[in-house]
Amino acid sequence: MPPGTEEEWHVHDRARQFFYVLAGQATMRTREGDVNLHAGAGLEIPHGVPHQIANDSDLDLQFLVVSAPSTRGDRTRVESPIGIGG
């Protein structure tokens, strides 16, 4: 992800996801707050948890995401919580 970009807020009804940062720094936003992840760190997002990954840094962000089961047809856009992310 280029610097200053973010995914839209969304939720998965069935799939859980694991994000692993290869390079750069990610900000994972949930309604419970932000988690900053540096290279070599990972985070699981359970199904049913609205979330957004963002690159708030000045460097490119490279990460892997593993979803189980597939997120195909299992992604619903949700509104951003007030005062958090875009």
Residue 68 burial (10 A CB sphere; 0-12, 13-18, 19+): exposed
User: What's the rounded Cα separation, in Å, for the pair 55 and 38?
Assistant: 11
pLDDT of residue 84: 58
CA-nearest of 2, 1, 5 to 86 is 5
Cα–Cα distance list, 46 to 14, 53, 59, 83 (Å): 9, 14, 28, 23
User: What's the rounded Cα separation, in Å, for the pair 16 and 36?
Assistant: 19
Look up the CATH superfamily of 10-69.
Answer: Jelly Rolls (2.60.120.10)
Domain regions of the chain by residue span: 10-69
State pLDDT tens for residues 2-53: 999 999 999 999 999 999 999 999 999 999 999 999 999 999 999 999 999 9
pLDDT of residue 81: 82
**pTM, entire model:** 0.91
Whether the per-residue pLDDT at 64 is higher than 60: the answer is: yes
